[in-house]
Each structure stands twice: as structure tokens, then as C-alpha cells.
Structure 1
Amino acid sequence: MVLSGRFVALAAVGVLLTAWSAAALGLYALALVVALVVDVGLAARIVDLRLARDPVAPVRLRERAATVLVLGNAGRRTLRAVVRDAWVPSAGATPRSHEVVVPRDEQRRVVTTLTPTRRGERTTARVTVRSFGPLGLGARQRQLAVPGTLQVLPAFASRRFLPEKLSRLRQLDGAVLVRQRGQGSEFDSLRTYVLGDDVRAIDWRATARSRDVVVRTWRPERDRHVVMVLDTGRSSAARIGDEPRLDAALDACLLLGALCARAGDRVALVAADVEVRARLGLTGGRDVLPRLVGAVAPLEPALVETDPHLLAAQVLRLTSKRSLVVVFSSLDIAADTGLLPAVRRLTGRHEVLVASPSDPALGRLATTREDPLDVYTAAAAEQAVLARAAVIDQLDATGVHVVHGDAELFASRVADAYLDLKAAGRL
């Protein structure tokens, strides 16, 4: 039994009767308690409710969705209730509660708006129903399990870069052909030599059959393999701004996947730390982005040290053909027990690119020296910056391409690196 605010107000009024007589106060209290018991007895029984939930379509991070709870009254009395459809806090459920009146043998739909603040699966807690009597003095209350799940997809904020990258891709793949043959380029057509063309592109056989000097034109190959590797270990949990490093990597994955799909390349993905968290086999065409989103949406950082040999083994298992392998990890842990062992195994068979979003706060800390504590903090930040630079030098010496930068432009830089390699015929 739950007491309402109306009952509390009436009880407070009864305190005034103490100035009259104790007997009057006793009679008033007895009458109020009897009224409460009768009122609660006349309230609709919660056990007679039939609750169901409509499925909720997936939604992107910080976009709105609506969940509908259907209340059916199979009892003999009209239900006058306050219903709270509770979700986990990160689902952003509003409003907190709903007032409903459901006559017998009828249904009502309770709509709760969800604005999720975290990616992944957001689940319901319990539905709390408080059934009031006709006088509104008290209520029956019960918590019911009505399971529901909201699939929260990555925000894909980097899609704003997609038109620009597609324009550059069209230049590479059609409007502006590659005039110089690079490793792995495909023959496109013959045309007349113009001043500035590379003499190595001259087709001497075609020139012998023509009155003009003829050169070959080349275009980037299609159906290349691009393998994206996500490190989901403890380094991916470090926050850059308001989001973990893993979310910045996922955003870059989606932009790169969309670009690869348009370029005619096939995409694969593996996410792992000490075990494989997600795996997507080689996929091409229109299926790339939907399958990629479905694979990465449930991923969360794990507070364990990543096994670099597991990452390398998974990549080698995914494809034996020479591919572009994009490793999303932290450059802060790429010591001999971190990233370097994995990339050393991969560089012999694949083109490897290591991508890591950097924290702009590190640079600010390194330049702040207002008091002694700031000086120590700046020294630690400067040491971290130097260690990161040393790791980049080690990766460069191994023949690995490195992309790093602020999270705001990180996805764009990864896409540019892919296009640069494609233009150079390195894929």
C-alpha cells in the first residue's frame, strides 16, 4: 500500500483537531484510516493488467526514439494509475511517469521518449504501476517485468566528410585517371601523348601502329581487401573529450567502410582484446555499411591488456590476399608487448596502417605552468608526447603508415590516408 499526497494533506488537517479534543482527533483518524482501507480496496487489481511492449527500431546515438507500453485492463474495475516505464539511465527515458485511466476491457498506450547517451543495447528496468482508488487516498503498487531493448547505433558523425571523400574518389576512379603506373594499378585505356606524361607509360607497340605517340592510362584497382582491426582493450576506454577512444575509432571505421563500398573494395573487420569481440568476413557492395554498423554497435571497451598476437592471427585468418590492414589502437601502448609485435607479423604480407586518435588535452597540459603542480603535470604530459613520438618513429621504421590527430578530424584523416594509398597504387 502506498499513501498519496492527498491522504497526507488530510492527516495534516487532523492535527488541528488536537486543539479541540483528543476524542475528536481519534474519531477523525479512525475515519481517515477506514476511508484509506476502503479506497485501496476499491482500486483496480494490478494482477488483472495485461502488459505488452511494441518493438523499438534501432536508433543512432543521441537521436530520439519512442517506446510504446500497452496496458490492457482485464479486471472488473476502472484502472486509475501512475505508470513508470523505467529504463537504464543511459537510455534517457522521459517523462518519468504517466497518469493513465483504463476502463475495464480496454487498452491504453503509454509512450516514453528515449534519447540514449551511450551506444550499444539499452535495456528496460521494471515497469512500476501504482493503482489508486476512487478517492485517491492510497494505492496498490507493484513492479512488473516487461522486457525491452533499444539498439543504439554509432552516431556516425563523420558522414559529413563523405561527399568530399566521394568526390576525390570519383577523380581517382573516373574523371581523372592515374597517368603513372603504380604498384597494383589496372590498365584503363590508350591515348595520345601530351607534354608532361611519363615516358615509361608509352606503349611502343600501339605507337608503331599509329601516327602519334601513344601512352597507357591506369586506374586504381577495384576489389581490393581492406581489413579493419579494432583494439577493444583497456586503452580504448580512455576518454577523449566526452567519449571513449573506441567511439572515435568506430566513427572512422564507418566512414572508411562507406568509402570502400563506393570504391568497389571488400571490407572485413575484427575487434578483439584477449578474445574476439566481433568479426565480419569480407563484404562488398551495399551490404558493407549495414553489416559494419551491426557488428560494431554492441562493442564496449574491456579493461584488459590486449593480446597483439591474437589481433595478428585473426587478420591472417580473414584473408590471405595482400590487403590494406587498418589497425585502430593507441600509440601510447605500442611497446614490445603492445602494438609492434602485431604489426611486425602483418607488414610482410599486407600494407599496414595504424590509426590512433590523440587527446588534445595532452597538449594543453604540456604548456600550462602556472603553479608547481602544473609544472609536474606538464612534465608528465611532455614525457607522454615524446613517448608517443618515439613509437611513431618505430612504426615508420617498420614500414607502417601512421595516422593520428584530434578526434574531430580523425576519421577524415584515415579516409585521406586510404585514398592516398589508392592513388599511389599501394592497395
Structure 2
Amino acid sequence: MVTRRFALVLVLGMPLPVLLPSPWLLTLAVVGLVTGATVVDLLVAAPVTAVMLRRTGAETVWLGETTTTTLTVTNTAGRPMWLRLRDRWVPSAGADRTEHRLNLLAGTQAEVTTTLTPTRHGDRAAVRVSLRSYGPLGLAYRQRRQRWDESRTPKWTLRVLPRFPSRRLLPEKLAKLRIFDGSVVTRGRGQGTEFDVLREYVVGDDVRSIDWRASARTHDVVVRTWRPERDRRVVCVLDTGRTSAARIGDEPRLDAAIDAALLLAVLASKADDRVDLLAVDTAVRARVEGGGHRTKLPRLISSLAALEPALVETDFGLAASTLLRRDHKRALVVIFAALDAAPIVEGLLPVLSRLTTRHRVLLASVRDPETALLARLPESGATADDVHLAAAAELALAERTRVRALLQQQGVIVVDEPRETFASKVSDAYLMLKAAGRL
């Protein structure tokens, strides 16, 4: 194929024969000379089939951070290569520069670095590396079809982990956990806590904690100490149906749920509890269970990264049957779902009794503060549209209150908070249940 330089040289050379006595003959000579040079240039250009590609770099990155990948280009031809390379990624990968020009001697290689700043979590793939080999004069080039380029492109997928803004709350929550665990204050007895050790009585201990039989055996006053329950099971159930696509502020409701689930998972892992994950709409989209804390948490984070809202109604019956089929051990089931009347009353409530009889259930929902603002009428000059909008918002708030009351009647703990405090309140609810021994 010819380049723009071929056309430019041809245009610049055409006026010269007009000044001479035999313009047509010389015009043909100029055209023939440029065409011949182009043919030679095309023959000298190295074939793109002689290019070997290899990619290295990061495979995971947190959303909002920047990473790089390196593409190593090797010239296996026996002649120099003037190469133009385009490293194409999906738009949401945020590639800064995709086109590069390389001059490779025979048997040499060069590295092309692409900086990626993803704009969405999930899997961001390298689409295609397009190759174009030029001749030394730049008049012609060799290039294969797009399908061939795709077959030679090194397969590479960058997994973008979800944004985790509540990470800043971890020191505070871990400090509370240490208090409950007895690392900061003296361990005390709470409802449902586990027996720890016997120790000598000291002034200030609760006399109800004295173990009289052990005291008689040791001829000294000893007391029992307790610690919070450990090795309990926490299951995070994420609704990925249509309600999870609603935007709270500038992000989908699902992103807020993922952030809160991440904080809860890290906190529960630090507390030596087992954390499982179930993401469901009309099908199970992600499921993580089994394995130790060190191996499960990375798998759980990676599974959360791949979740996207689906515009379908969530099948809570499927979620309940999946949970109940697993085992009979009691667990804290944290359901991240919208507190909307239709999906809760028609979908969750019919199967809720099956869950609450075996597990402790907590429903966590992100509240949209815009609804409360819309329910307020302007202080002056309210129009009919304002009145209708305020009435609709007030009705939505009343429905939300009614649904929350129905869930609480079934023994469900409800966390209904705005985005700014949502993750913190969900973790506080877990810590409260753990401190009281109610997991």
C-alpha cells in the first residue's frame, strides 16, 4: 500500500515537465520514476509477520490509580524495520498513548510502555495491536488484515478492583475490634461470648465471674474470662439487579454496596471470622466460599471487581435456596439491596422466614438524600409541579418507612444510611452483634 508521501511526491513532481518542451513524455517519466521508487520501497519493507510481541506488566489495579503495561517488540527479520504500532485498549482502560513509531535493526527489540488510568472497575482488555511496516523512503508500507492483528496480539486483561474509599475507616474499626477482643480493656462477659481462660481474681473483677469449683481446687480465688466469638460465618449477599443500577450521587448503588462489603470483609477477616460472598440477580454472578483468610480475601475482592448491574428483577428465592443449600451452620447474612417496596415485598419477604429461622439477617440499603430534599416545598412561589414532585417524594419516603417496619417485624436488622456513612454503619452493626455475641 502507498502512503501520503507517495501522493505528495507525485504532486510536487508534476509541475516540472510542464516547463519542458515534451511535457507528456516527461510526465510519464516522473510518474514511472515515483512508482518504481514506491515498488522498491515496498519490496525493501520488512514483513510484519517477522514481528514478535510479548506483553508484561500489572494485572490488577485499584480504580482511581495508574499502572503501566510493557509491550516488547522483536524484529526477527534479517533486515531493518521501520514500524508504526498502535496498541489499542477498550476506552474505559484509560490508555494515554496508543501510537508509537519504532526503528528496529535486524534481530533487535524495543519496549513500548502504555500508561493506564481506568475509569471503571472490572476487566479491561487489550483489544488489538496493529502493525504497519514502512520502507526506508516512507512511500509504501506492508500491513495485514485486522483479524491477523488480533490473532497476533498478546492476550492481556487488566482487572480493575473497585474503589474502596472506606479503607480510611479501617484503623478506627480495628481499634473498636481490639477493644471488644480484650486487647485494650479487660475482657468481660457478654451474652453468647466464648470462654477464654481462668485467671487469678483481682480487685474490680465481677464477683459473678468467680469459678468456685476451680477456686476450691486451686485454693485461690479464680475467675472466668470470656472473649468475643470467633470463627463465625459472615455472608455478603449483593443484589446486582436493576435497583443496583440506580445512581446515588455520581455512582451506581452497587458501587456503594461493594465498598461497604469490602470494609465488612476485611474487618471480619481481622476478627477471625469466615467471610463468604454471593452476588445474584436472575443467576448467581459471583460466589466465593471456602479457603483460609489469606487466600479468600483476594478472591473475594477480585470477584467484586467483575460485578456490574443487570437490568433484570432479582430472584431472591434463588439467593435463599443457594444460602440454605450450603450448610446448616448459623451465619450473619448481610443483604445489600435497595429498600424499595416492589423488590422487597414481592421478592424478599416471601422467602425471608426461611432465612431468619436459620440465620441472623441484616439488610443494608443506601439512602438517596435527594428524595428527602425533593419532599420539601420551596418557601415561596411553589408551583403545581413542585407540589406533585414533593408529594411523590413523600410517598416514596413513606413506602420506605413501611418496608423497613415490615423487615424489622420479621427480625431483620435494617441499616438505612446515606452514601457518606453507609459503609461505616454496616461495619458498626457487625461489631455490635459481635460484641453482644449474637452472630
Give the TM-score normalised by the residue count of structure 1: 0.87
CA, structure 1 residues 239+30, in 2 after alignment: closer, same or farther (shift >3 Å)?
farther
Q: Counterpart of 2:212?
A: 205
Aligned-pair distance for 1:354?
0.6
Q: Choose from 248, 262, 267 the match for 1:240.
A: 248
1:52 matched residue in structure 2:
54
1:279 counterpart residue number: 287
Distance 1:18 1:383, change over 3 A: farther
* Alignment check: 8 A CA contact 2:374 2:393 kept: yes
Contact 1:225/1:282 (8 A) holds in 2 = no
What are the Cα deviations for residues 114-138 of structure 1, in whole angstroms up to 9, with x where unaligned?
2222222211211111222212233
CA–CA separation in structure 2 for the residues paired with 1:299 and 1:51: 31
In structure 1, C-alpha distance between the alignment counterparts of 2:128 and 2:298, rounded to whole Å: 31
SS across alignment from 1:151: strand
Of 359, 362, 376 in structure 1, the residue corresponding to residue 368 of structure 2 is: 359
Match of 2:396 in 1: 384
How do 1:386-401 and structure 2 match up within 5 A? 386-401=398-413
Query: Which residue is 1:121 aligned to?
Result: 123
Query: Which amino acid in 2 is paired with 1:148?
Result: W
CA-CA distance at 1:27 after TM superposition: 5.7
Aligned partners of 1:274 and 1:205: how far apart in 2?
Answer: 58
C-alpha distance 32-241 of structure 1, shift in aligned 2 (>3 A) = farther
Partner of 2:136: 134
Q: Number of residues paired by the alignment?
A: 423
Letter of the structure 1 residue corresponding to residue 272 of structure 2: G
Matches for 1:13-162 after TM superposition, within 5 Å: 13=12, 23=24, 28=30, 31-54=33-56, 56-142=58-144, 143=146, 144-145=149-150, 146=153, 147-162=155-170
Question: What SS does the aligned partner of 1:181 have?
Answer: coil
Counterpart CA distance in 1 for 2:37 and 2:214 is 107
Q: Distance in 1 between matches of 2:432 and 2:2?
A: 68
Aligned mates of 2:322, 2:173 — CA distance in 1: 29
Equivalent residues of 2:282, 2:315 under 8 A apart = yes
RMSD value, Cα: 3.2
2:278 corresponds to 1:270: yes
Task: State the one-letter code of the partner of 2:97.
Answer: P
1:312 aligns with 2:324: no
Q: Distance in 2 between matches of 1:167 and 1:269?
A: 25
Alignment map for 1:329-344 (pairs within 5 Å) = 329-332=337-340, 333-344=342-353
Structure 2: how far apart are the matches of 1:30 and 1:300?
59
Which of 146-155 and 363-372 deviates more? Answer: 363-372
Shift of 1:362: 3.2
Contact 2:193 2:436 in 1 (8 A): no
**In the alignment, which residue of structure 1 is the partner of 2:301?**
293
SS of the residue corresponding to residue 66 of structure 1 reads strand
Counterpart check, 1:229 vs 2:231: no
CA–CA distance in structure 2, aligned partners of residues 12 and 307 of structure 1: 68
**Separation (CA, whole Å) in 2 of partners of 1:384 and 1:424:** 34
**Over residues 121-174 of structure 1, what are the superposed CA-to-partner deviations in whole Å (9 max), with x where a residue is unaligned?**
211211111222212233223341212211222232221111110001000101
Q: 1:70-100: per-residue Cα shift (whole Å, max 9, x none)?
A: 2222223311121011111111112121111
| Cα deviation digits, residues 224-243 of structure 1 (max 9, x gap) | 11111111222222233333
Q: How big is each residue's C-alpha offset from its partner over 1:243-277, in whole Å with a ceiling of 9 and x where there is no partner?
A: 32222222212211111111111122222222222
Deviation of 1:355 (Å): 0.9
> CA distance change for structure 1 residues 331 and 2 in 2, over 3 Å: closer, same or farther?
farther
Q: Provide closer, same or farther for how the CA distance between residues 13 and 422 of structure 1 changes in structure 2, counting only shifts above 3 A.
A: same
> Per-residue CA shift, 1:367-424, capped at 9, x if unaligned?
4757655554444333323222221111111111111222233211111111111122
Residue aligned with 1:131, SS: strand
Identity between Structure 1 and Structure 2 (%): 48
* Partner SS state of residue 289, structure 2: strand
Equivalent residues of 2:211, 2:224 under 8 A apart = no
| Residue number in structure 2 paired with 1:426 | 438
CA shift in 2, pair 1:75/1:392, >3 Å:
same
Which residue in the other structure is 1:3 paired with?
Answer: 3
For residues 33-77 of structure 1, give each alpha carbon's deviation from its aligned partner in whole angstroms, at most 9, with x where no partner exists.
444343333322112222232364322223222222222222233
Checking the alignment, whether the CA contact within 8 Å between 2:50 and 2:75 is kept in structure 1 is: yes
Q: Which moved more, 1:71-80 or 1:369-378?
A: 369-378
Contact 2:314-2:343 within 8 A present in 1 as well: no
Contact 2:317 2:347 in 1 (8 A): no
Q: Determine the C-alpha separation between the residues in 2 that align with 1:379 and 1:33.
A: 77
Q: Which runs of 5+ in 1 are unaligned?
A: none
Displacement after TM superposition at 1:291 (Å): 2.6
Q: Any conservation in 2 of the 1:260–1:267 contact (CA below 8 Å)?
A: yes
For structure 2, list consecutive stretches of 5 or more residues without a partner in the other structure: none
- TM-fit CA distance, 1:208: 8.6
Q: Structure 1 residues 193 and 351 mapped into 2: Cα distance closer, same or farther (>3 Å)?
A: farther
Counterpart check, 1:166 vs 2:174: yes
Shift of 1:28: 4.9
Q: Report whether the alignment pairs 1:325 with 2:337.
A: no
State the match for 1:407 in structure 2: 419
